[in-house]
């Protein structure tokens, strides 16, 4: 091979190596990115308590009744108690590593349920629990995208275990803030069934540092105008007793 041609081949190979290296460096660690985003939605916490208020809207909604709950969470566990509306007051939903039970006043014992079961409107029971996507899903990096002027990494999440709230999620995570800003909830066949947007106006202290925490989740049905708005407030950081997550104690 002629020296000039060899030089050209060497330059081409060098350029390809630079491009390949740059692409590899630009692609994030999907698992680490997902785990970081979970913190802002209660995942992996040593102890948190918050209030949720859920309001539904759409042409099929007959009234503007609000559902209110208080949620206590730690690591992979959470327990939620409904205090409004009055007819549901005292009902509790317990999650222990994605196994779930519900109990209501008058029931003799807790009943096993699925996180996919609808709580109210477009909100599934799994939507109100502490989010631990890094534990429940296998992430794959897809691309970068921009939402409302904010650069995001887009991940595809595939259920890694049974009892997940959704089979697949396409999840937009802010590059600068490391929080999930948008989600498309998908069926097994790949159809979008619901979508959600997130706002983070709350803050909590984690290991002495100020951390963003979700303040609003808006869930929109894909086929209708049905929508549920979940507002998160009164975020308290502190240990939660293990007895709170004992299925024998929620009655």
Specify the CATH number for the domain of residue 219: 2.50.20.10
**Structure confidence at residue 157 (pLDDT):** 97
> Does some domain include residue 46?
yes
Residue 209 or 222, more confident: 222
> Does some domain include residue 15?
no
> Does some domain include residue 10?
no
Read off the pLDDT of each residue in 51-56 and give the average, rounded to a whole number: 96
Judged against a pLDDT cut of 70, whether residue 5 lies above it is answered with no
**Structure confidence at residue 180 (pLDDT):** 97
d(CA 75, CA 226): 32
Pick from 14-28, 82-96, 177-191: least confident: 14-28
Count of Cβ atoms closer than 10 Å to residue 192 Cβ: 13
**Structure confidence at residue 17 (pLDDT):** 46
Percent of the chain scoring above 90 in pLDDT: 60
> Does some domain include residue 132?
yes
> Does some domain include residue 193?
yes
With CA atoms as reference, report the closest residue to 31 among 179, 138, 150. Answer: 138
**Structure confidence at residue 20 (pLDDT):** 41
> Does some domain include residue 3?
no
Quote the Cα angle for 123-29-75, to 5°: 45
Please tell me the total count of domains within the chain: 1
Pairing between β-strand 111-113 and β-strand 118-120 as defined by DSSP bridges? unpaired
What is the separation of C-alpha 244 from the centre of its chain, rounded to a whole number of angstroms? 22
Average pLDDT, the chain: 87
**Structure confidence at residue 155 (pLDDT):** 98
**Structure confidence at residue 4 (pLDDT):** 56
Q: pLDDT confidence of 16, banded at 50, 70, 90?
A: very low
Helix (H, G, I), strand (E, B) or coil at 93: strand
What is the separation of C-alpha 59 from the centre of its chain, rounded to a whole number of angstroms? 27
d(CA 116, CA 129): 12
Half-sphere exposure of 171 (CA within 13 A, CB side): 28
Reading the block at residue 79, the tokens are 């327990």
Judged against a pLDDT cut of 60, whether residue 18 lies above it is answered with no
Where does residue 56 rank: exposed (0-12), middle (13-18), buried (19+ CB within 10 A)?
buried
Render 188-249 in DSSP notation, one character per residue. TTS-EEEEEEEE--EEEEETTEEEEE--EEEEEESSSS-EEEEEEEEEEE----GGGG-GGG
Query: 98-145 pLDDT, tens per residue?
Result: 789 999 988 888 999 988 888 999 999 888 887 889 989 999 999 999
Q: Does residue 156 contact residue 173 with C-beta atoms inside 8 Å?
A: no
Q: Model's pTM, two decimal places?
A: 0.85
Read off the pLDDT of each residue in 150-178 and give the average, rounded to a whole number: 94
Could you tell me where the DSSP H helices lie in 27-130?
Answer: 30-38, 125-128
Q: Which residues constitute the domain of residue 71?
A: 31-249
> Does some domain include residue 62?
yes
> Does some domain include residue 210?
yes
CA quadruple 58, 181, 192, 185: dihedral, nearest 10: -90
With CA atoms as reference, report the closest residue to 206 among 51, 52, 44. Answer: 44
Query: 194-207 pLDDT, tens per residue?
Result: 999 999 999 998 87
């Amino acid at each position: 091979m002629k020296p000039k041609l060899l030089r050209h081949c060497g330059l081409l190979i060098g350029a390809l190596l630079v491009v390949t290296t740059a692409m590899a460096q630009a692609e994030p660690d999907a698992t680490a990115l997902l785990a970081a985003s979970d913190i802002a939605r209660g995942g992996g916490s040593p102890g948190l308590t918050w209030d949720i208020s859920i309001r539904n809207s759409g042409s099929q909604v007959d009234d503007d009744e609000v559902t209110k709950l208080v949620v206590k969470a730690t690591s992979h566990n959470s327990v939620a108690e409904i205090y409004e509306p009055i007819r549901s007051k005292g009902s509790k939903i317990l999650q222990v590593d994605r196994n779930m039970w519900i109990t209501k006043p008058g029931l003799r014992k807790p009943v096993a349920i699925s996180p996919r079961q609808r709580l109210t409107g477009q909100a599934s029971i799994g939507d109100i629990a502490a989010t631990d996507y890094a534990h429940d899903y296998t992430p794959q990096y897809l691309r970068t995208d921009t939402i409302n002027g904010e650069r995001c990494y887009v991940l595809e999440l595939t259920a890694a275990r049974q009892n997940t709230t959704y089979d697949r999620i396409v999840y937009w995570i802010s590059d600068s803030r490391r929080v999930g800003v948008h989600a498309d909830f998908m069926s097994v066949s790949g159809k979008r069934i619901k979508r959600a947007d997130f706002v983070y106006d709350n803050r909590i202290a984690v290991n002495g540092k100020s951390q963003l925490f979700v303040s609003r989740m808006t869930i929109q049905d894909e086929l209708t105008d049905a929508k549920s708005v979940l507002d998160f407030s009164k975020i308290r950081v502190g240990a939660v007793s293990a007895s709170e997550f004992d299925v024998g104690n929620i009655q």
